[in-house]
Amino acid sequence: MTRVIRIAAAQMGPTQRDDTRARTLGRLIVLLEQAAEAGAQLVVFPELALTTFFPRWMLEDAELSAQFEDAMPNPGIQPLFDRARALKIGFYLGYAERTSDGERFNSAVFVDSEGTIVGHYRKVHLPGSVEPIPDARYQQLEKRYFQYGDRGFKTFRGNKKLGGAIVGMLICNDRRWPEAWRCLALQGMELLCVGYNSAAYDPNGGDTESEELRTFHSTLVAQANAYMNACWAVAVAKAGNEDGAGLIGGSCIVDPNGRIVAAAKTVADEVIIADCDLDLCKQGKKKMFNFDAHRRPQWYSRIVEMGAAAPIDGDI
């Protein structure tokens, strides 16, 4: 079994609030076909790939409801699943999930190249707030619209065509939290897939980090966490100007040494490709990051015992 898999990161340009689902699905299928044409066995789409980044608005019930998927797949999404299975290409897809109990999550599925859903993740690190900021044009209401992910961090195996890769999924803000990567790496993760929608600037006009700095942060955490966990990382943006709110691009594929091997150049729909040798993870996993030889978990207890930071004056 070859362990080199060709992976596509399918960055999406903006999706506007008024775009139809059919239009967006059409874009996803075009990107899928471009990836397949380039010989990819796996394509990674962004977070909330089926809609605009709707947590930026306080939405009325009907419009909010229309952002969610009650099943995955469902008739509206089935053409993407069908096309992927016909092309024998696996995919990661972020979407807004609503369960039969009415629970709502910011979720992603991983479909292998036989068309089987082998991974299902619900975002743990929700940014934003429950209550809207008064009088602000744009909000970040993920904590209002979604419940915290309740499935933890689980790896799964890709099928033979995907090299039997041990895969982990994260969503957007999760990638900035080293705890999330480590929980996956402790299960042998070789490939991390993460889609994101990350603000390029404060859409309400505040004077905070520049788009360049935010893109640097996004790339930096993908590179360093890939290195420190000896895995490949595929980080994929929904990018560009969504109804006046900017999203960074910066989609990239990173090797287990933390080096960028492919990077998007635009903030539009764009497919980038890399051949990823899963066995390149071995060097790090056996030597520098040989967890068995070098980790000292007895000293890490604050990580699970503390939520907030609590400044403590140490003694000598």
What distance lies between CA 1 and its chain's CA centroid? 27
User: Annotated catalytic residue: which of 47, 97, 190, 242?
Assistant: 47
Q: Rg for the chain (alpha carbons), in Å? A: 19
Shortest Å, Cβ 293 to a copy of itself:
8
- For the beta carbon of residue 179, count every other beta carbon within 10 angstroms: 14
Partner residues linked to 274 by β-bridges: 7
Q: Which is nearer to a copy of itself, 132 or 178 (CB)?
A: 178
Whether 47 sits among the annotated catalytic residues: the reply is: yes
User: Annotated catalytic residue: which of 69, 97, 123, 238?
Assistant: 123
Q: Which is nearer to a copy of itself, 20 or 301 (CB)?
A: 301
Whether 123 sits among the annotated catalytic residues: the reply is: yes
Shortest Å, Cβ 197 to a copy of itself:
15
User: Annotated catalytic residue: which of 69, 97, 142, 172?
Assistant: 172
Q: Which is nearer to a copy of itself, 79 or 188 (CB)?
A: 188
Shortest Å, Cβ 102 to a copy of itself:
21
> Can you tell me the distance from the alpha carbon of 71 to that of 4, in angstroms, rounded to the nearest whole number?
33
Q: Which is nearer to a copy of itself, 65 or 204 (CB)?
A: 204
With tokens 């993407």, the residue in question is 80
Token pair for 264 = 């998007």
Task: Report the alpha-carbon angle 44-257-92, nearest 5.
Answer: 10
SS3 124: coil
Whether 286 sits among the annotated catalytic residues: the reply is: no
In the DSSP assignment, the letter for residue 97 is E
Shortest Å, Cβ 298 to a copy of itself:
8
Catalytic residues: 47, 123, 172
